[in-house]
Amino acid sequence: MWESICLTLAGTAGSNIGKVLQKKGSVILPPLSLKLKVIRAYAANKAWIIGFLMDICGALLMLRALSLAPVSVIQPVSGCGLAILSVFSHFYLKEVMNVIDWMGITLAGIGTIGVGAGGEEQEASSISIFQLPWLALLVAILFGC
């Protein structure tokens, strides 16, 4: 379980920080288009390329984490990536954060530890093909379709 949580934290941090680097790199770039000159400008921009690669690597780490643990564990932990992004923005982009921001980041970290400590390995239950229509009907009734 802890391996998937660490992969999730690394993946979500990579994706979020990668997007910030792409944004910072694209400030001096022209609007994205399929013109060769524009594509070369993006490919030559170091910050944009590093951000792009971090975003892709983060997504791959998230996929690996999802193969090891249920979505009910991975998705809440991925919210901690926003806290990591906040800390990154504070130090790298020099954004000012107040006490409430720092408290939120701390609570996100504590929540991640709680999910990891409380999570347990789960076994997949099998559903008969004959039960699927009843399940679909129940969902339709619950959501008022």
pLDDT tens-digit series, residues 69-119? 888 888 888 888 888 888 888 888 888 999 998 998 888 888 877 776 676
Q: Which span out of 3-7, 55-59, 95-99 was modeled with the highest average pLDDT?
A: 55-59
Res 145: pLDDT: 58
Amino acid at site 11: G
Residue 120, pLDDT score: 61
At residue 31, what are phi and psi to the nearest 5 degrees?
Answer: -55, 140
pLDDT category, 144, cuts 50, 70, 90? Answer: confident
Chain-centre distance for alpha carbon 60: 11
Structure tokens at 68: 């090891």
Q: Domain ranges in the chain? A: 2-121
Structure tokens of 130?
């004959």
Contacts of 124 (CB under 8 A, 6+ apart): none
For 42, left (φ over 0), alpha (ψ -120 to 50), or beta?
Answer: alpha
Q: Which of 8-17, 32-41, 128-137 has the lowest mean pLDDT?
A: 128-137
Chain-wide mean pLDDT for the chain? 87
Q: What is the pLDDT of residue 117?
A: 67
